[in-house]
Amino acid sequence: MFNKILIANRGEIAVRIIRASKLLGIKTVAVYSEVDKNSLHTELADEKICIGPSNPKESYLDMNKIITAALVTNSDAIHPGFGFLSENSKFVNLCKSNNIKFIGPNSSIIDAMGNKSKARETMINARVSVVPGSQNPIYDSEEGKKIANEIGYPVIVKASSGGGGKGMRIVEDEIKFTRLFNLAQNESLNAFNDNTMYIEKYIKNPKHIEVQILGDKYGNVIHLGERDCSIQRMHQKMIEEAPSAFLNEETRQKLGQCAVKAAKAVNYENAGTIEFLVDENSNFYFIEMNTRIQVEHPVTEMVTGIDLIKEQIRIAMGEKLSLSQEEVRIKGHSIECRINAENPANNFMPSPGKITALHLPGGYGVRVDTALYNGYKIPPNYDSMIAKVIVHGSNRKEAIEKMKVALEELVVGGIKTNANFQYSIMNNKTYIEGNANTGFIAELLE
């Protein structure tokens, strides 16, 4: 049993972890940068400690400062949330060397699955279907061009250490390859300090489907159904739902079994997500594994009734999974809209600033994950997501109607948000009919 958990994150996910820890009777420590001094997570935690200035490299990404904060507060464990250090194997090893439990998989799993080139190789060996692509890491544009010509255009160039849409470019023909490859590689160097690239066949406008898995140290692995994350802008997810309206039952079963097989191939422990692209003929291909909790985990919680953060903590404490695959039940339909501080009318430019009015929606089957409060000043230094509105209905139609009501009720004064843009999607015929794919937002904006 942990006595105290340090949360190496900020914003709504830090608040979410604090609440789950309290339900388990575990004390919490909030770390914060100077600009986050008055953030909600610092008020809800039992203790708080400043770890540096607003620049993430000098605070939330500074491994030594996080470890020092854990040691001086006598924390037993660290929960990384998502982003920042959540998929950093060096940080996992640093936790281990200081006798602090990292709430997530071990460093070898993160290395095997966090690097996209290694993950592809692992999945091929496990006989999991992958998108046709390069077999080895690529560092040079000319080498990459030869492989792209063999695969056939269009292709997508990706950073091996990438995430969140960073270090990715779609290349339609050979003429544009060198320029776009170099752009993606430079972006990868700036974001991840890694120039390792790989190339895949680009499957145009597929469905982006991911499967939530849980594994314990005793070799038990289960899946908790899928999430449809096809509504994206610039490779960033905007709307997620569970279950997918596109999949038939046969494909759904195969996806779940494939995800479990993929997780068992690396002896996976803790919460993770296996991500697939699904084409119009329901053929699916592994693209990557996220070795952490996802932003969109609430929709899975809503349809299964399982608290994923509590499960993460219990697994890290050495407990067995609290349920078997046969006990997992998917009930109803859930949708999540990410509310970002940005202005859709001005090319989605970030809109930080002070919250001058705030009303969060409520009611049966409505949940809001956020760290907002009236008077809070949103800093410009971090991701623009400020809240997640999640609804649950008996079916997809009811969930869509419930989301419309929730978005109508949401008031965030003083800044611009994408709430109205999300509302327009809820009223879009293509979305309502379940036919939206990864190219939906681009087509909508055009």
**pLDDT higher than 80, residue 161:** no
Domain membership flag for residue 114: no
Residue 15 · residue 40 · CB < 8 Å? yes
Reported as a pLDDT band with limits 50, 70 and 90, residue 165 is confident
**Which of residues 181 and 446 earns the better pLDDT score?**
181
Residue 241 burial (CB < 10 Å; 0-12/13-18/19+)?
Answer: buried
Whether residue 17 is predicted with pLDDT greater than 70 in this model: the reply is yes
Q: Do 231 and 325 belong together in one domain?
A: yes
CA distance 268 to 216: 7
pLDDT digits (tens, 9 = 90+) for 289-325: 999 999 999 999 999 999 999 999 999 999 999 999 9
Does residue 400 fall inside a structural domain? yes
**Final residue before a domain boundary, out of 201, 222, 240:** 201
What CATH number does the domain containing 194 carry?
Answer: 3.30.1490.20
Q: Are residues 219 and 171 in the same domain?
A: no
Instruction: State which of 201, 220, 243 marks the end of a domain.
Output: 201
* Total of domains in the chain: 3
The answer to whether residue 188 is domain-embedded is yes
Half-sphere exposure of residue 146: CA atoms within 13 angstroms, side-chain side: 7
Q: Does the pLDDT value for residue 163 go beyond 90? A: no
375 and 420: one domain?
yes
Phi-psi map region of 26: left, alpha, beta (phi>0 left; psi -120 to 50 alpha)? beta
Contact 237, 296 (CB under 8 A): yes
Identify whether 108 is part of a domain.
no
What residue numbers bound the domain in which 160 lies?
A: 132-201
Q: How confident is the model at residue 356 (pLDDT cuts 50, 70, 90)?
A: very high
Contact 50, 68 (CB under 8 A): no
Write down the mean pLDDT value for the chain.
Answer: 95
pLDDT at 162: 65
Q: Where residue 45 sits, what CATH number does that domain have?
A: 3.40.50.20
Q: Are 191 and 313 in a shared domain?
A: no
Is there a contact between 156 and 170 (Cβ–Cβ < 8 Å)? Answer: yes
In this structure, the answer to whether residues 154 and 191 fall within a common structural domain is: yes
CATH number at residue 405: 3.30.470.20
Same domain assignment for residues 150 and 214: no
The tally of CA atoms less than 13 A away on the side-chain side of residue 110 is 20
On whether residue 79 sits in a domain, the answer given is: yes
Do 412 and 315 share a domain, yes or no? yes
pLDDT of residue 446: 82
Tens digit of each residue's pLDDT (9 = 90 or more) over 174-216: 999 999 999 999 998 887 888 999 898 898 889 999 999 999 9
- What is each CA distance from 395 to 223, 281, 300, 332, in whole angstroms? 21, 24, 14, 5
Closest CA to 423 of 442, 444, 437: 444
* Residue 185 sits in the same domain as residue 253: no
Phi, psi values for residue 155, rounded to 5°:
-125, 165
pLDDT tens, 31-64? 999 999 999 999 999 999 999 999 999 999 999 9
Encode pLDDT of 104-158 as tens digits.
Answer: 999 999 998 977 778 888 898 889 999 888 888 899 999 999 999 999 999 999 9
Q: Do residue 37 and residue 139 come from a single domain?
A: no
Q: Is residue 194 part of a domain?
A: yes
Q: What percentage of the chain carries pLDDT values higher than 90?
A: 86
Q: What is the CA angle 116-219-308, rounded to 5? A: 70
Catalytic residues: 292
Task: Tell me: do 260 and 174 sit in the same domain.
Answer: no
| The predicted structure's pLDDT at residue 164 | 64
Asked if residue 127 belongs to a domain, the reply is: no
Domain endpoint, select from 155, 184, 201: 201
The answer to whether position 180 is within a domain reads yes
In 50-88, alpha helices (H) = 63-72
The verdict on 139 and 9 lying in the same domain is no
Report whether 74 contacts 98 (CB < 8 A): no
Write the CA distances from 285 to 111, 170, 206, integer angstroms. 21, 18, 10
Residues 139 and 260 in one domain: no
